[in-house]
Homo-oligomer: A and B are copies of this chain.
Amino acid sequence: MSEANAQAIANQPLDGEPAARVLVAGATGFAGALAARLVWRHPRLQLVAVTSRSEAGQRLDDIYPRHRVPLELIELDLAQADEIDAAIVAYPHGAAAPVVAELRGLGAQVVDLSADFRLRDLPEYERWYGPHGEPELLEGAVYGLTELNRDAVRTAELIANPGCYPTCSLLALAPLAEAGLVEGVVIDAKSGVSGAGRGAGEAMHFSNVGENFKPYKVTGHRHTPEIRQELRGMGARGPVTFVPHLLPLDQGLLASCYVTLSRKVEPDELRALYEERYAGEPFIELADAPPTVLDVRETNVCRIQPVLADGGEQAIVFAAIDNLWKGAAGQAVQNLNLMLGLGETEGLL
């Protein structure tokens, strides 16, 4: 470790002894960089290294001044990983699995931001993402949608952190699906540009995206099987249609979910269903007006409004998150907090 990094890490402000020493692998993408910032500012976690495959040697705060993480990026060197208690891995799909496997082999608790451990059905994974490098780890991975899976997260060693679209859609739909009320759903989802990642290239050029709006990957987005898997697991029936659209803004995701109900529902019942399901949840807000993406920007909150239509035969549920926070790095830290026995909201308020 460089002298400068060692000194910066020693000066990292902490509340007493750190609960864990944390590595962020792949810290130059949008989600990885935010994860590094969240860990750096976390009162109980010590950020001990940020890695990059192509930008090692640069300082993270030169690439992202706004995150203010004063560490030099290094290449991932697992020989030194014995100093690590936990890791957030922000590698591309496919590239993540081998790194996760090695980190697990060294005993580190891992939150993986990629899709590599989200789909329990290996052939389904390989259909959407190609060959899987570490299929034997699939069984032990916990799908880290915290609010829907909190107990399993607490005892997990490997978290498959959910995709941004699934996080928002599933939080919107879980109360209805678990109650057996979903007979079919159309999810019309809209995401800001940061969801496409830093390396998105010309497609995300301002001139193509600004003042523009469009659907994309209309019948084949990779988050579709993830949404279906979880909705089925909660008891939803009928067709699941998911269409993503690209918004001319940076961070923010809103899902408009149109649910064909299995029976007529009254407004009071609908409201009660959501209030009970999410009672005491620190990061869920139920709103009386439509949520907006600015309401949740730079927060780990999911803000939800359920309403009825078609005389109670249809529910429309709107949910908004910040795709980089609750849809990626924020939820990763939320999960890490639980895995380490810390307060769930620490470092996230």
The chain A residues found within 8 Å of chain B, CB to CB, are 30, 41, 65-66, 186, 188, 190, 193-194, 198-202, 204-216, 218-219, 239, 241, 243, 245, 247-250, 252, 254, 256, 258, 285, 287, 290-299, 303, 307-310, 313-314, 316, 318, 320, 349
Contacts and interface: CB of A to CB of B under 8 A. Distances in A.
Contact of A256 (B210, B215, B252): B215
Dominant SS among interface residues on chain A: mixed
Given A198-B207, A213-B293, A292-B214, A241 B314 contact: yes
A309 B241 contact: yes
A214 B186 CA distance: 17
Nearest to A291: B214
How many copies of the shown chain assemble into the complex?
Answer: 4
Interface centre among A202, A206, A310, A318 (most CB of B within 10 A): A206
Contacts of A309: 219, 239, 241
A211 B294 contact: yes
Nearest to A193: B206
A247 B247 contact: yes
A239 B314 contact: yes
A202, A247, A299, A308: most-surrounded residue (chain B CB, <10 A)? A247
Contacts of A193: 205-207, 210
B204 A207 contact: yes
A248 B210 contact: yes
B293 A254 contact: no
A292 B258 contact: no
A310 B239 contact: yes
Contact of A213 (B206, B292, B313): B292
A206 B245 contact: no
8 contacts: A210-B248, A211-B211, A211-B294, A212-B294, A214-B254, A216-B290, A239-B309, A241-B316
Nearest to A210: B250
A262 to B, nearest CB: 15
Given A65-B295, A218-B290, A316 B243 contact: yes
B66 A206 contact: no
Nearest to A65: B295
B250 A248 contact: no
Contacts of A66: 294-297, 299
Given A65-B295, A214-B254, A245-B256, 4 more contacts: A204-B207, A241-B314, A241-B316, A247-B247
Contacts of A218: 290, 307, 316, 318
Contacts of A256: 188, 215, 243, 245
Contacts of A310: 239, 241
Contact of A209 (B206, B297, B349): B206
Contact of A258 (B202, B206, B258): B258
A245 to B, nearest CB: 7
Contacts of A243: 256, 316
Contacts of A318: 215, 218
Given A207-B194, A303-B65, A313 B30 contact: no
